[in-house]
Amino acid sequence: MAQSDVLLKLKGVKTYFFTDEGTVHAVDGLDFQVRRGETLGIVGESGCGKSVTSMSILRLLGKTGKVIEGEIMFDGENLLDLSEEEMRKIRGNRISMIFQQPTTCLNPVFRIGEQIIEALQIHQGLSGEEGNKRTIELLTLVGLPDPVRRMRSFPHEISGGQAQRVMIAMALACNPELLIADEPTTALDVTIQAQILDLMRELREKVNTAIILITHDLGVVAEMAENVMVMYAGRAVEYAPVHALFEAPKHPYTQGLIASTPVLGNVRDELETIPGQVPSLLNPPAGCRFASRCAHRMDQCTQEEPPLIKLEGDRLVRCWLY
């Protein structure tokens, strides 16, 4: 892997939220990298820190959250060192994002076309006329039927699937090098989800954008990602190429996650479960964070947190079993 090949590299990133109840260790020491054109899937359950990771990259944490440690290197530059002004030039331009709820991300009082043209004018300095033309191109690219007429529609006049197409068009407007998709199909029906995933695959080939795909759905990851990072309670617990991960998950949490998912066409009498629940991130336990729910728990696990251990085949796992 040549160094210049790496587009994004996180090193020891810690993002904490300072609340009235205490400090939430939402992301607690995260390292990973994304190569140009790569699709990295991040999976995990609610509260594992997968969305906070994306918000940390874009520096959209709001008033209570802060990246207190670490580096986020994007194309050789630490995003955490940039001024707000410089950051604004990157957001929506070189790194863009699509969210779970497409309908709440569009401004309800502006026409769809106007919202895309705005991004083009700000970042690429296109005139109204040029912006218009490019918007029609983009809406055609994402397969929105009748784009010329749809440009004049308001967000409430289109369906959820169409709104997600518009969001994707907007995200791709400035040919970003990195696209962060945070649960892009979770709010959509399965037949519409299939359309959107199909579209994302097609676009990936056409524009060669690197994608960070954040999802809780193992099926979506299996279909879309090349490499997968599994997160648990603010930490990466496993990192592997997608085939290797599903063929032989190494971390007990990943194993539990896969075994507890009902799979179409494979009926089992009883689903495997992971007993207990995710620990509070206000006061994360010492040692391995999964220890309290783990069937392989040893004494060592509750005392000392395992490091990410390197296994063959480009895999990493945070577990004392290896």
Partner 1 sequence: MTVSNSTSEHLLEVRNLKKYFPIKGGLMRRTVAQVKALDGVSFSIKKGETLGLVGESGCGKTTTGRTVLRLIPPSAGEVLFEGQDVLKASAGRMRALRRDMQIVFQDPYASLNPRIPVGHSIAEGLKIHNIGTPRERLDQVAQVLERVGLNSGHMRRFPHEFSGGQRQRIGIARALVMQPKLIVCDEPVSALDVSIQAQVLNLLNDLQKDLGLTYLFIAHNLSVVEHISNRVGVMYLGRMVELASRDQLFSKPMHPYTKALMSAIPLPDPTIKRDRIILEGDVPSPVNPPSGCRFHPRCWLAQDICKHDDPAFEEKEPGHFVACHFAQG
Please tell me whether residue 195 binds partner 1 under the rule CB under 8 A.
yes
The first and second tokens of residue 309, run together, are 């251990």
Q: In this structure, what token pair is assigned to residue 151?
A: 């440009």
In the set 242, 291, 301, 319, which binds partner 1 (CB under 8 A)? 242
Nearer to partner 1, 174 or 319 (CB): 319
**Which member of 277, 283, 300, 303 binds partner 1 (CB under 8 A)?**
277
Minimum distance, C-beta of residue 273 to partner 1, in the bound complex (Å): 4
**Of residues 187 and 236, the one with the C-beta less far from partner 1:** 187
User: Based on CB atoms, which residue is closest to partner 1, 84 or 270?
Assistant: 270
d(CA 133, CA 141): 12
Q: Tell me the two tokens of residue 198.
A: 């199909």
Least distance in angstroms from the C-beta of 130 to partner 1: 31
Task: Supply 223's token pair.
Answer: 């279909």
Interatomic CA distance for residues 240 and 314, integer angstroms: 6
| Smallest separation, CB 202 to partner 1 (Å) | 11
Size of the site for partner 1 (CB under 8 A): 45
The correct pick among 39, 100, 162, 227 for binding partner 1 (CB under 8 A) is 162
Work out whether 260 is an interface residue with partner 1 (CB under 8 A).
yes
Residues 88, 91, 204, 216: which binds partner 1 (CB under 8 A)?
216
Kindly state the smallest distance separating residue 190's Cβ from partner 1, in Å. 5
Give the residue with the Cβ less far from partner 1, 78 or 273.
273
| Stretch in the footprint of partner 1 (CB under 8 A) among 57-65, 102-110, 129-137, 242-250 | 242-250
Residue type at 170? M
Q: How far is the CB of 247 from partner 1 (least distance, A)?
A: 8
Residue 19 near partner 1 by CB under 8 A: no
x/- letters, 42..81, toward partner 1 (CB under 8 A): ---xx-----------------------------------
**Which residue's entry shows tokens 């440690």?**
69
Binding residues for partner 1, rule: CB under 8 A, are 45-46, 145, 159, 161-162, 189-195, 197-198, 216-223, 242-243, 246-247, 256-258, 260-265, 267-268, 270-275, 277
